[in-house]
Amino acid sequence: MRKTNLAIQLTAAALLTGWLSVPAPVQGAEKVKVVSVNYPLHYFAERIGTDSFSIDYLVALDLDPAFWEPGDEALMAFQKADIVIRNGADYAKWMNVVTLPSTTKVDTSRAFSDRLIKVEGGAHSHGDGAVHSHAGTAFTTWIDFSQAAMQAEAIAKRMTRNAPSEAKQIGENLAGLKADLGELDEEMKSLGKKLKGQSFVVSHPIYQYWSRAYGIKIDSLEWEPEMKLGEKEIADLKAVISKSKPQWMIWEGEPTKENVEALAQLGLSSLVFSPAANRPEEGDWLEVMRQNIKNLEEVLLR
């Protein structure tokens, strides 16, 4: 009993004099704040992160994240974040004209920056009336699922830097995500081989990396699923049909009934392959990608 009491007394004395250091409790530790420029990267961060991270998504759900610009409140959240997950490839150009701490930004496409695709394109508007152009660098990098895996790795590497004690769990979470991405990649490679020789029209110039990765021949228009097709649009489509003889139009979102019928009159069937750049109304990014593959599989059944 005397030895025990002596040990207690010595420990108390050591604490008072600062001789023995005791780690601070972690329960009240502030979480690492993470924000992303689009939903796919946010989804990856959620899959990879642990309870040590606070992962927020700030993009308005009815807008295209590539051309969204933050308001004052959202911009302040980006400026105060510990980790800002960027897509790279000239995505979210608003970041070039605002001040963000350079130490917080993570360019997730840096690992394949030498393979980015340069594109041409004219200005057009989406349903919100905002005018923009896809000219420059193709930026829908994540629908090449091998590139998506590299983007996920960049996120995990940065999260580990900010929370080194969580490295094991982050690594395990990354492995689970990469397994899902690898499955998508293998399924798309198999589909690409089966669809070899077929040509598709795509409604928007956002499928370049997908086309390259899986050997799928495409011709791009600059249409919106909900737009009303006029004489110019029909003429543009007829020119593509005359050149490439496609049987399918791939839309980035669900097209109107009128648009489906108009294409059917020209001998084209419609299917949806959504990049899910923004949060879907139902499910999550992975579920959308799996549905995209199912939609493509229907082509082989007809």
CA 12, chain centre distance (Å)? 53
**Same domain flag for 242 and 146:** no
The distance in angstroms from the start CA to the end CA of the chain is: 85
pLDDT given for residue 83 in this prediction = 98
- Residues 9 and 178: their CA atoms lie apart, in Å, by 53
**Same domain flag for 153 and 289:** no
Assigned domain for 12 exists: no
Assigned domain for 16 exists: no
DSSP state of 63: S
pLDDT given for residue 122 in this prediction = 52
Domains: count for the chain: 2
pLDDT given for residue 4 in this prediction = 40
Per-residue pLDDT of the chain (302 residues; tens, 9 = 90+): 433 443 334 344 443 334 333 333 345 579 999 999 999 999 999 999 999 999 999 999 999 999 999 999 999 999 999 999 999 999 999 999 999 999 999 999 999 999 999 987 554 444 445 544 456 899 999 999 999 999 999 999 999 999 999 999 999 999 999 999 999 999 999 999 999 989 999 999 999 999 999 999 999 999 999 999 999 999 999 999 999 999 999 999 999 999 999 999 999 999 999 999 999 999 999 999 999 999 999 888 87
**Same domain flag for 268 and 216:** yes
**Same domain flag for 197 and 118:** no
pLDDT given for residue 136 in this prediction = 86
pTM, rounded to two decimals: 0.86
pLDDT given for residue 121 in this prediction = 58
* Residue whose C-alpha is closest to residue 216's, from 203, 197, 237: 197
Assigned domain for 196 exists: yes
The answer to whether 269 and 236 have CB atoms below 8 angstroms apart is: no
Assigned domain for 24 exists: no
DSSP state of 145: H
**Same domain flag for 115 and 228:** no
Assigned domain for 238 exists: yes
**Same domain flag for 172 and 195:** no
pLDDT given for residue 228 in this prediction = 96
In the chain, DSSP assigns E strands to 32-36, 53-56, 83-86, 105-107, 118-119, 123-125, 131-133, 136-137, 199-202, 217-220, 248-251, 269-272
Q: Which two tokens stand for residue 268?
A: 């084209």
Neighbouring-strand partners of residue 102: none
**Same domain flag for 170 and 242:** no
- Residues 177 and 199: their CA atoms lie apart, in Å, by 31
163: left (phi over 0), alpha (psi -120 to 50) or beta: beta
Asked which of 142, 177, 212 is the last residue of a domain, the reply is 177
Show the domain range for 194. 186-301
Asked which of 152, 177, 202 is the last residue of a domain, the reply is 177
Assigned domain for 248 exists: yes
Supply the angle between the helices 167-194 and 285-301 in degrees, to the nearest 10: 20
Assigned domain for 8 exists: no
Asked which of 159, 177, 195 is the last residue of a domain, the reply is 177
pLDDT given for residue 126 in this prediction = 45
Assigned domain for 23 exists: no
**Same domain flag for 127 and 190:** no
**Same domain flag for 205 and 145:** no
**Same domain flag for 261 and 237:** yes
**Same domain flag for 146 and 190:** no
pLDDT given for residue 135 in this prediction = 63
**Same domain flag for 147 and 220:** no
pLDDT given for residue 134 in this prediction = 52
Q: What is the CATH number of the domain that holds 86?
A: 3.40.50.1980
